[in-house]
Each structure stands twice: as structure tokens, then as C-alpha cells.
């Protein structure tokens, strides 16, 4: 699956699509693949404060529990209600319809420290090599 | 998402099929020091694998399991006496070609490991043990059979063990052997030619709660891959898929089969684990017997129960269990979504006063108490088919 060029990526496998201070946040295709069949998603209510690097939600597969970390500080505007009943969408469309939250960022320049698509692809390719060494 | 830390692969042990799993794109994990497939994305992943085993057939590489053979020394009966001494079930009741579930206990009545004991001959036994406890088990067996006239051999690395599991497992294996499989009842075994390999151990055993077979073939990579590929080929018409340890875990959990380090351990005794039907007090003395007797007389302080979540949330291993007053009263030993039932299920240790079916309990999930209730176990029982009506489990 392609990693959208306009997104920014964290080492913990979240993506951010920011337009000014408005951002959509999700987990990457690599993350959903590592997790396997996603069966449960827990997301914050609108108004919840996000703090960079702090957990704001949980995604669970049959086998694993994974915390999701805020890539930047801000406030939650909307959580993706679709994922409540159809968490498996995270396995098929993690970069699109299965976004997790929309947020207003406190300081969009925080995202400058994140990876672009090319850097993220190199990062996960490295992880792949480690795993099969 | 939390970063996935990968231990150095070089330090992990590998089965003979490791390269094949990797070539086929299996997702690998460290399981008790072994580099093993947890799921096969090419099979559709864990849930698809689980459903294949319940509905038709799947194949697992379980070569990480250990094997210990105990056979006669100079005189006959030495091996039987040794097996009787180190395990809690009554091996004297086994016919040649029969196997049973048993366990090796510490003098405290807690678990060294659970084992399947196969009677290969009059005074010749094969114990199949867990991967994560191999070294501990073999040391325990050697140390505690020293006074007996028997020979103990570890054969763990000699075999590739494949588990072909599911209602169509018999149809798959039938194509690969001239052995009459219908003559092998549940928890019995025989030796026959499989994939052209003579004298292969074929056991009607497994860890899925489904009908199925485990076969033991020589552990060189060429033979192991050949057999794996022939099983896959023979199973194609039944939709066979390779399965990983993830599905193995959800399958065994639905069937309430114990996993060492979870439902059983060196801290948990036979009565608490509810495995006393496999513990034959009347057979004579064995290691742990006195402690088990004392524990029985003293009464239970905790017992293993099945839970089904009522609230949204998945109970996981080691999450605390609370009563309605919010007091911590127990702990989850295994928890997962159940692909067969479409519910979130768990096993937990709680005081007997909370063990009645229907009792409402709460599981603490990320600082929130989520409602659950005690349900009958096993969570899943395979339908009895007319053709396998004599498949009674040997206690």
C-alpha cells in the first residue's frame, strides 16, 4: 500500500494529514499489518486534549493491544465513529476511510520533526531487514 | 502504535520449517525462545486460520514441542514405574497405542509441565512436552527417574511435528497414508507410512478442540518441507491453510485447554486448575501426590472460571478481576476475542464463591471496570458427528 506523499509519519507508526492547524490522524498500513485482524478501537471524545507523545487511544487485534500516541499537541474535534462497529476497516483502508481522529493542533510546526513518506518507507524497510536478518 | 521490538533472530531457535515459513511470508514472533509463525497473512490471517480449523482443516508446525522417550532398562517395568512416579495420570491404564493427558508435578502439587503420555510399547513411553519448558522438563525427568531401571532419551530435535487439525483433517491425511485412520480413535496413535515415510507416528491428538492428527517425521529440512508441501497439496480441495500460534491460542482457549505459564504454572496446583480428573490419587504414590491431597483437604482458595464480556472491551492476560464492590478478587490468565463465538472470552482465577455460572464480575481494562459474567466452559465444544462417535476423550 502506498504511503501518501502529503502525510507525515511517526516512529510509532501513526500518520498525520495536516491542513494548517487542522489534522487527520491514523495508523499506517505497516501498523495494521503488524497488528493483524483489528477487532477493537477505543478513541477519545471531542474536546479531549492531545499531548505530543502521550497515548490517546487503543487499537486491538485478536492477539495484541496497541496504544496510539499523539504526534502533536492539540484538541480532538472528532473521532471516527465508523470504527466502533467496523474496526476491521483499519486492515483494509488505514490511510483513508479508517482514519482515527480529526484534531486542531496547537502548533502545527511540531510536525516538522516527523518523517515524510520516503523517510518512513526507508524506516520500515530497515525494520523488515532486522526481522529477517 | 507502540514500536515492535524484534529480538535478535540469531538467538532464537528455529524449526526445520523456519525458512519455508519465512518464504511464505508468515509473521514471525519469539515464542518461548523460538522463532515461530504467529499468523500467515497469505492464509488471510488469524481469524481466517481459526475458522478454517473449526470449519474444515488447517496445518500447524508444532516442531518446537519437545519429546522425551522413557523405555526399559535391563528389566521390564522400569519405564512404567518411572512414568508413574513423575506424572499424575495412571499410565498403567494405557494400552499400547494409546495416549493421555497428564502432568508432571512438583512436590508442592504445582506444575512442572503438562504432557501427553503415549504408550509406545509394553515398557516404552513418549512424553510430548511444551517448547518453553523443554530444558527444565528434561532435567526434571532425568533427575527424578535416576532410581528407576529405565533409559531416558530426549528426541525433541529428531522430529518435525505437524498438527493437521479440523473436521476434514482425516480426509487430508487419508490421501497421504495407507493406514486405516478410522481405526485410530481420539487420543490413540499408530505407526504407518505417511508421504512415503515408513514407521511414522500418527496420533489423533491436538490442541484445538477439533478432530485432527499430529504426525512426527524426521526433522531434516528437505523431508520436513516435502511433507508440509504434500499436506498442503492434499488439503487443497478442502481449503487447507497454514496456521500460526495465534490461531492455535484462540482455538485452545475456546476449548479451555490449559497453557503453561497461564492456566497452569509452578504457582498453581492441580485442584485449582480443575485438572483433578487427570490426577489419579488411587494409582499409588507419585511426585506431588501428598501436596495435592493436602490441598484437596484444605479446600480451594481459587478456581479457574470462564468469563464472557458483557461490556465492550477485551480481557487480556494478567488483567485484574473485581467484584461488584470493586475489590480485586482475581486475575485473568488468558483472554481474547473468540472468533467462533463472536464474543470476548477469558479464563480467570477467582475465589470459589465467585465461580457460579451467571455471577457478574468486572475486568479492569485500562483503569475501567468492564462488566463480565461467569459462563460454562469449555466455551466451545465440537459437534459430535456420527462418523466420529467413538471419539471419546481418554481421561
Write down all domains in chain B, each with its CATH number in brackets.
11-253 (3.30.1360.120), 300-375 (2.40.30.110)
The pLDDT value recorded for residue B388 is: 47
Note the Cα B169 to chain centre separation in Å.
18
Grid coordinates given for B380? 466451545
The contacts of residue A40 (CB under 8 Å, 6+ apart) are A58, A59, A60, A87, B312, B313, B314, B337
End-to-end CA distance of chain A: 23
ipTM of the complex: 0.90
* Beta-strand relationship, B368-375 and A38-42: unpaired
| Res. A9 pLDDT band, cuts 50 70 90 | very high
Verify whether the Cβ–Cβ distance A62 to B313 is below 8 Å. Answer: no
Q: Where is B360: in which H helix or E strand?
A: strand B360-365
What is the DSSP code string of B164-193?
EESTTHHHHHHTTB-S-GGG--TTBEEEEE
Q: Which residues in chain B have Cβ-Cβ distances shorter than 8 Å to A65?
A: 314, 316
Nearest Cα residue in chain A from B345: A62
Domain chopping of chain A, boundaries:
8-128
Residue A120: phi and psi, rounded to 5, are -65, -40
Q: Which residues in chain B have Cβ-Cβ distances shorter than 8 Å to A31?
A: 1
Verify whether the Cβ–Cβ distance B1 to A65 is below 8 Å. Answer: no
CB nearest to A12's CB, from B3, B41, B337:
B3
Q: What is the block-wise mean pLDDT of chain B (395 residues), using blocks of 10 residues?
A: 53 96 95 95 94 98 98 90 98 98 98 98 97 96 96 97 98 98 98 98 98 98 98 98 98 98 97 97 97 94 98 97 96 98 98 98 96 98 66 43
| Res. A131 pLDDT band, cuts 50 70 90 | low
Residue with cell 507508526: A13
The contacts of residue B354 (CB under 8 Å, 6+ apart) are B305, B323, B329, B330, B361, B374
Instruction: Answer whether B28 touches A (CB < 8 Å).
Output: yes
Helices (H) and strands (E) in chain B, counts: 8, 19
CATH 3.40.50.2300 for domain A8-128, yes or no, is: no
What is the DSSP code string of A6-48?
T-EE-TTSEEEEEETTEEEEEE-HHHHHHH-SEEEEE-PPTT-
Amino acid at each position: 500500500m502506498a504511503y501518501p506523499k502529503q502525510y507525515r509519519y511517526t516512529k510509532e507508526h501513526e500518520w498525520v494529514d495536516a491542513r494548517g492547524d487542522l489534522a487527520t490522524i491514523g495508523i499506517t498500513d505497516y501498523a495494521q499489518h503488524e497488528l493483524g485482524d483489528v477487532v477493537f478501537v477505543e478513541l477519545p471524545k471531542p474536546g479531549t486534549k492531545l499531548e505530543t507523545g502521550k497515548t490517546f487511544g487503543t487499537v486491538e487485534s485478536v492477539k495484541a493491544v496497541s496504544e496510539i500516541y499523539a504526534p502533536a499537541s492539540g484538541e480532538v474535534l472528532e473521532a471516527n465513529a465508523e470504527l466502533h462497529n467496523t474496526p476491521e476497516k483499519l486492515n483494509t483502508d488505514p490511510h483513508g476511510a479508517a482514519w482515527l481522529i480529526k484534531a486542531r493542533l496547537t502548533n502545527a510546526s511540531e510536525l516538522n520533526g516527523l518523517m515524510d513518506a520516503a523517510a518512513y518507507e526507508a524506516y520500515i524497510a530497515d525494520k523488515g531487514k532486522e526481522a529477517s536478518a | 502504535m507502540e514500536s515492535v521490538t524484534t529480538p535478535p533472530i540469531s538467538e532464537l531457535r528455529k524449526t526445520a520449517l523456519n525458512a519455508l515459513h519465512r518464504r511464505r511470508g508468515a509473521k514471525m514472533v519469539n515464542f518461548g525462545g523460538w522463532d515461530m509463525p504467529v499468523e500467515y497473512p497469505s492464509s488471510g490471517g488469524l481469524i481466517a486460520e481459526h475458522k478454517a480449523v473449526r470449519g474444515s482443516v488447517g496445518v500447524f508446525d508444532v516442531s518446537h514441542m519437545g519429546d522425551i522417550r522413557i523405555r526399559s532398562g535391563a528389566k521390564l517395568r522400569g519405564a512404567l514405574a518411572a512414568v508413574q512416579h513423575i506424572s499424575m495420570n495412571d499410565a498403567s491404564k494405557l494400552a499400547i497405542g494409546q495416549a493421555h493427558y497428564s502432568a508432571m508435578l512438583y512436590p508442592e502439587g504445582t506444575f512442572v509441565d503438562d504432557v501427553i503420555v503415549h504408550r509406545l510399547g509394553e515398557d516404552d513411553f513418549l512424553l510430548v512436552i511444551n517448547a518453553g519448558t523443554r530444558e527444565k522438563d528434561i532435567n526434571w525427568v532425568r533427575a527424578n527417574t535416576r532410581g528407576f531401571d529405565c533409559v531416558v532419551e530426549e528426541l525433541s530435535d529428531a522430529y518435525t511435528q505437524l498438527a493437521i487439525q479440523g473436521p476434514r483433517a482425516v480426509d487430508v491425511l487419508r490421501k497421504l497414508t495407507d493406514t486405516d485412520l478410522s481405526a485410530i480413535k481420539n487420543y490413540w496413535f499408530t505407526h504407518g507410512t505417511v508421504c512415503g515415510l515408513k514407521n511414522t507416528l500418527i496420533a489423533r491428538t491436538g490442541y484445538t478442540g477439533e478432530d485432527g492428527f499430529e504426525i512426527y517425521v524426521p526433522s531434516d529440512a528437505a523431508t520436513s518441507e516435502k511433507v508440509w508441501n504434500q499436506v498442503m497439496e492434499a488439503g487443497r480441495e478442502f481449503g487447507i491453510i497454514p496456521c500460526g500460534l495465534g490461531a492455535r491460542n484462540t482455538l485452545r482457549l475456546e476449548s479451555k485447554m490449559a497453557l503453561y505459564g497461564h492456566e497452569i504454572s509452578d504457582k498453581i496446583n492441580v485442584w485449582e486448575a480443575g485438572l483433578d480428573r487427570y490426577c489419579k490419587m488411587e494409582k499409588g504414590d507419585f511426585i506431588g501426590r501428598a501436596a495435592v491431597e493436602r490441598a484437596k483437604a484444605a479446600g480451594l482458595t481459587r478456581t479457574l472460571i470462564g468469563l464472557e464480556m458483557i461490556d465492550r472491551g477485551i480481557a487480556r492476560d494478567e488483567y485484574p478481576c473485581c467484584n461488584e464492590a470493586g475489590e480485586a478478587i482475581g486475575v485473568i490468565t488468558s483472554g481474547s476475542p473468540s472468533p467462533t463465538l463472536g464474543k470476548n472470552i477469558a479464563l480467570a482465577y477467582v475465589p470459589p464463591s465467585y465461580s457460579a455460572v451467571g455471577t457478574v464480575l468486572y475486568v479492569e481494562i485500562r483503569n475501567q471496570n468492564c462488566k463480565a459474567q461467569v459462563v460454562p466452559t469449555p466455551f466451545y465444544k465440537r459437534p459430535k458427528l456420527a462418523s466420529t462417535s467413538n471419539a471419546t476423550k481418554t481421561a
